[in-house]
Amino acid sequence: MKKNIRQPGDKTEVICEECQAVRKATWNYDNYLLDDGTVVKEVMLAHCDVCGAQAGLAQQSSYLIRNAREKNKRRDRTTITLSRPLRDLAETRVFKAGSSSMSAVEVILLSVLAVLREPDRREKYLLKIKTLEDKKLLKSGTYSERLPIRFNRTTAKLLEEVTAATKLSRSEFVRRAILLEDNLVNEHVRTFTLV
């Protein structure tokens, strides 16, 4: 079976957008610029022999483009600390609803944020979160469970807004979110789980 990869110096014919014509081109490694301004290094590209413009991308380098795009889509990440009883409660709540590819804490946090995303419910639920300070589970155990949480930029922005509004740290907000059980939040938990 013949291996069909492009090597530096190989020749090909391409339609050059700059020349607006079919031209001979030469393959070589070069930097490729994505639409968002990201530079992808060492991509096998065909350059027009007449004007020098990039005129082709070798299939063998498509993974580099895909990886760069995926890296740009990466979700924001934070680490929160929980007590073992709070982590256990989160796992139990999600287990009862079904299963999810996300961590139980992420499911509950996203469920609470989904409710808070609704403007007519935000004030009521922020008040509920603030008033959970006397719950026994908030005070039991040490906050020794470190848990990374990932979310998209929109969710990260919402989390920043609600933590600022409640004057709580991210970890404290998440701890209280785990304790916030009502029908609306539980409905969202079920949507994030697979039954």
CB crowding 102-133: b at 16 or more within 10 Å, else e: bbbbbbbbbbbbbbbeeeeebeebbebbeebe
111-142 tens-digit pLDDT: 999 999 999 999 999 999 988 877 787 877 78
Q: How many domains does the chain have?
A: 2
Phi, psi (degrees; rounded to nearest 5) at 31: -80, 145
45 and 88 share one domain: no
Per-residue pLDDT tens for 173-188?
999 999 998 899 989 8
Which range marks the domain in which residue 51 is found? Answer: 11-73
- Do residues 131 and 52 both lie within one domain? no
Given pLDDT bands bounded at 50, 70 and 90, which one contains residue 74?
low
Does the pLDDT of residue 155 top 90, yes or no? no
